[in-house]
Structure 1
């Protein structure tokens, strides 16, 4: 058993004896878990800001949605460092991290794409595919991380497929378009009619490509 696995076993043993009483689950959270939840908070607020834009048409709501996602990335970066610093990683923290990442880097970018104009039926299928790829990517990571090659500190050598936070590149692209007033009816490449009643924004295909890269088995990305 590696040092990291021993630490996880020790941490999970502590979780099996939780503090009793009111709010006992919250009281058993580590500092890293709280930071992870802040990533989730950013993701949820980003989704709600995109939804708010649909009713207000205030571009500030779009800007808020876009800013919250990289802020979530900051919390995602910090939680792992804090967990290693305080030497209290746990399987609960791993699951919290994946769920928060799914919201901030899966659902939130898809909601943003819908808000800026990718709203046709085929668009929504493409965005659903993207989110489902994120779900599959995170599930695969959680299921295989214990067996993945690691260095002496317990750090995984590489990712299989692109990590889900790479979706921030899509957010950056949309931010550029919004900044230049290229959204809604002026989205680049406009709306393409495949057949009568079947329309799609070609721009949504970048989400399809991103999702496909996330679930790739052969693409290996060195972990920084």
Structure 2
């Protein structure tokens, strides 16, 4: 999860015949987004960092589709499962790069921050939960607990957007620490699941087996790892230094 900060470069532009003086790239983007006419006004409003953020979202969505393709195919063919896991580190790469590019070009915006959070939710929240489903966490209670995990990521990102400005920043505009574990740390869960796949510990062989089999409380105990990680993301007191 990268932090987007606004810069103070003055920019002038002409929109629909009216002259506007912009205090920052944020102001320019806001006017472009509010245009009711003009071809590709949304595309023109995006900064370079925003396009990199879109690639993060692309990786997350492709991971979800790869998970679905695995569920539709032969369970013994793990190609799509490995592909679903492989897309996620690339999502982290783009998540890292968008913040670097935004600070380098001194162009960031509220829209960029929102895009960043939405892309992170897909790549590091929804996509890992889909992979966990593919691996065999498929009981109704598993589904509820994985949903809670994703909602923890959603809540953590929303809180970040609200409180980011209150966290101390360095001279480059980068936040000094994260409140709670940042959502890209779910790559640790992805690494764990990749290890399970390599060992063949999927479907009926999921580590820990099944508890309360045949009842309404049937659950795979390893889903607790996702719940613990979700709680760490939502923690207020846990401060993780930002590299």
TM-score, length basis structure 2 = 0.87
Measured in 2, the distance between the counterparts of 1:182 and 1:195 equals 21
Q: Is the 8 A contact 2:179 2:235 kept in 1?
A: yes
Contact 1:7 1:89 in 2 (8 A): no
CA distance in 2, matches of 1:6, 1:181: 50
Residue aligning to 1:10: 24
Instruction: Give a deviation string over 1:153-188, Cα, whole Å, max 9, x none.
Output: 221111010000000100100000000111001011
The runs of at least 4 consecutive aligned structure 1 residues that moved more than 6 Å come to: none
Q: Cα RMSD (Å) of the superposition?
A: 1.6
- Report deviation, 1:195: 8.1
Q: Within the alignment, does 1:154 sit opposite 2:168 as a pair?
A: no
2:56 aligned with 1:42: no
Contact 1:149–1:157 (Cα < 8 Å) also in 2? yes
How do 1:198-217 and structure 2 match up within 5 A? 198-217=217-236
Inter-CA distance 189–83: structure 2 relative to 1 (3 Å threshold): same
Contiguous gaps of at least 5 residues in structure 1 = none
Say which SS state the counterpart of residue 206 (structure 1) adopts. Answer: helix
Alpha-carbon separation, structure 2, partners of 1:55 and 1:167:
25
Counterpart of 1:39 in 2: which secondary structure?
A: helix
Separation in 2 of the partners of 1:159 and 1:84? Answer: 18
1:197 CA displacement: 2.7
CA distance in 2, matches of 1:5, 1:89: 5
Cα displacement (A) at 1:87? 1.0
The alpha-carbon deviation at position 5 of structure 1 amounts to 5.0
> Greater Rg, structure 1 or structure 2?
2
User: In structure 2, do the counterparts of structure 1 residues 7 and 133 end up closer, same or farther at CA, with 3 Å as the change threshold?
Assistant: farther
